[in-house]
Structure 1
Amino acid sequence: MSTRLRTRASVAAGRLTAWFSRTARLGRGGVIGGRVTLRLDPKALRRLGQDRTVVIVTGTNGKTTTSLMLTRALEALAEVAHNGDGANMPDGLVAALAARPDAPYAVLEVDETYVPWVAEQVQPAALVLLNLSRDQLDRVGEVRMMERDLRAAFAGLSRTVVVANCDDVLVTSAAAAAARPVWVGTGRRWSGDSVSCPRCGGAITHTDREWRCAVCAFARPEPTWTLDGDLVHTPGGRQVDLDLRLPGEANRANAALALAAAHCVGVPPHTAAARLRTITDIGGRYRTIRRTRHSVRLMLAKNPAGWAETLRVLDEDTPVVVAVNAHEADGRDLSWLWDVHFERLRGRQVVVAGERCADLAVRLCYAEVPHWSEPDPVAAIDTLPPGGVELVANYTAFRDLVDRLPDV
């Protein structure tokens, strides 16, 4: 059997398996379909990625948001293959590419641990590195090990433009190994995982938007793209007003990186920004749902850096439901709860929910945040007075809520 015919047959088998999974209500089908395709043809990802302009988006937080932003921007040029369901491991990537075999562009959200292998397979035109912080230590491992793996991978990508957030110390260390880095200044505030230099171990000192190692020459590079409030300053000296419909500094930072990456593959910044303004929610995140007496805004937060950004955008006068699970997809290690500044919730009505609400309740006791517990997040909403509710959940708790709330 020829290699091309083998790939086609493998894709067909994967699609059939995905259809059966959906029909039997065993799952959404994307992951299992890609898994079958890869099992029958281990080189399917390489072959499906050929003859396309591929952009990879990776990082600890913001992958789904930024990849959707890039997809919207690149759709100004032509059809785009995109794993918009968040299935960001090889199975999901294969399924996304197989679903749109004729799309000349592809935007792939990729889990950080798989980036070296995926990049070697598809040889992307551009790769966006958003941020690096602690996340699911039981699965991903120590974040500095991840930085070293990415640094080694980037050193081998001679033709790939690496669009990197130069306000993240670990991102800068990894991307500095790339032959073609593009630096974006986003002003991100999380620095809890980079207090020491990844190159020599010296202390990292911060002043305004600058940072540098106190021992060696490692320091923040000069960005060619800069985020300043709602404005993005481009290399040509022009300004682009983002005017996003998504809240928070984190989303503006994601947008700045998306504009820079889109520009690298041929989309003018003003064109890209106009398309980003059409995005109102990301797979249900930031969407407001009406439930009987309540108006509920849904938000996702998965790790300390993500929670830090989410807690900043909560409405100060609105009650909060916080839901936490600890499935494999969330990471079973909940020690990260102690790195989240839940003290910001003092003075609010707070309900803790989810399968691990007891762990969360202990953390809030130490944070001196009065609260009560209701394991079912939907029932937790109903314990609050009529009006607005901010509901923040980690991965599987959020996924379950998105499936349940529209139907209740």
Structure 2
Amino acid sequence: MRGTDETHDPARVSWVDSANGHADFPIQNLPLGVFSRPGEAPRGGMAIGERILDLASAARSGLFDGEAQTAAEAASGPALNPLLALAPAPRCALRRAASALLSDTARRSEVEVHLVEASDAIMHLPAAIGDYTDFYAGVHHAMNVGRLFRPADPLLPNYKHVPIGYHGRASTVVPSGRTVRRPSGQTRAPDASAPTFGPTQRLDLELELGVWIAQGNRLGEPLSIAEAGSRIAGLTLLNDWSARDLQAWEYQPLGPFLAKSFLTTVSPWIVTAEALEPFRIAQPARPEGDPAPLPYLWDEADQAHGAFALELETLIQTEAMRKAGVAPHRLGVGPATNLYWTMAQLVTHHASNGCGLNPGDLLGSGTISTPDDTGMGSLLELTRGGKQPVVLPNGESRTFLEDGDALHLRGRAVREGFVSIGFGECVGVIEPETA
């Protein structure tokens, strides 16, 4: 834990008027991303209200010096991997320098020329993702889904001993706003003797957090739990779209494959570990009788500060709702503390066999759900496997996603005494398989 500093001061305001009171990007956030305007090359930027600080332009101008300049130069290209590969100190220096510049009215004229209107920008993936791994750390999701198939014993024996995960497909991770093409694959009806091939009829969302890896580890050299937290550059919202009917047919014995690999959507901003410092909280205690983690997964400091005070929300807006001007309807809201493992435990376990993690790698937390209907992170849970449709305000109903539906994920860090910060939206609109 690095602790808070002047960049988290709730009294700090910016001369960028839209930042003050902004739901996601006040000056206390300053998330990192990659943007471009039409006809321009993508480069690194920092969100501030409804504008973006162009880090490439600022680096060339001499606004920064020392470690802050080193970090700005590393963020000047089309992906932030060089910045993520740096030690935490230069990233912290860049954050502090940018915060000072954006709050000092005397520097406004020399800084403002490096700001871009967010409405003019196209957002890209913040990093070139070498590998993507999805975990299954949402214990209530695991319980809710397990009850659908194994009512008497919803969790498999290994769940509370080892962070469960599978390797996903990095090439199909896209930034918010990209359409979601309905995938096709093999399915088999319960009363059929053979499978058929066609578009999924049980398309679903999964509300997750994404973990961006900073400095990784060399192949063959595990990471200790004490050092794993420093290898986390920041978090993002992540929707690991799922074709439940494809998954049911293909997942045995090796787990998810085409039912998951067709698309994963992330919010395009990395909310940095430094910005999230005030929102670190204790990991919830395990229920009495649960096994203690093995020593390589246990660290007292991580247990004291390894969880985050985040509020996560899912919303749906059908095509008919959009045409009628009806706002997205909330499906659920709940805390990120519904994770059985901390982010550092996930990173530690991933590298425990010597697997090499690299800057820009992405980890998914697994679906984050509440134990009741208030904040379930998938329609599979909310509709009890498609048996109980969700009725929307305009009279439409859904068991799974239909063409034209838009899914919105939102997330905010909230803690008394600090200015709340957010992730920006993570949105995808379903389009037909034949489009």
Quick check: which one's helix share is greater? 1
Quick check: which one's strand share is greater? 2
Superposition TM-score, scaled by structure 1 size: 0.27
- Structure with larger RCO (C-alpha < 8 A, sep 6+): 2
